[in-house]
Amino acid sequence: MKKSIYSILRGKFLISDDSFKNWRIIIFISFLAIIMIASSHSADKKVHEIAKLNNQVKELRSAFVDGRSKLMRLKMESTIIRKVADKGIQISEIPPVKIKVKSSIQE
């Protein structure tokens, strides 16, 4: 047992006569390890990209809500009255009247 562990540590299995099988397995396992590492790096990149996009969505959503609330404040009648009062425009005290036009076109 002691000799087999010592021969493994010295690498005799890599230089013996039937070492071609061992080299094939080592190269195959190394190739699989490289693929696994590349795959995990790719997955990590995607996770970071998703987190960044989620932050952008939150920022854009808050900007949208802020813009919508500003628009609602600007559309309020009291705000409009204040803005046009500076130009000398006042609210009419007579309510508007609907005008109906009767067509007199004869064919």
Residue 35 lies in a domain: yes
Residue 22 lies in a domain: yes
Asked whether the whole model's pTM tops 0.75, one would answer no
Distance CA 107, CA 48 (A): 72
Residue 98 lies in a domain: no
Domain count, the chain: 1
Residue 50 lies in a domain: yes
Considering only CA atoms, which of 10, 14, 17, 23 is closest in space to residue 2? 10
Residue 11 lies in a domain: yes
Distance CA 5, CA 69 (A): 75
**Residue 97, amino acid:** V
Distance CA 91, CA 46 (A): 58
Where in the sequence is the domain holding 47, given as residue range(s)?
Answer: 2-85
Residue 76 lies in a domain: yes
Q: Residue 107: its pLDDT value, please? A: 57
Digit-by-digit pLDDT tens for the chain (107 residues) are: 777 787 777 777 777 777 777 788 889 999 999 999 999 999 999 999 999 999 999 999 999 999 999 999 999 988 888 888 888 888 888 988 999 888 877 65
Residue 94 lies in a domain: no
Residue 99 lies in a domain: no
Q: Residue 64: its pLDDT value, please? A: 97
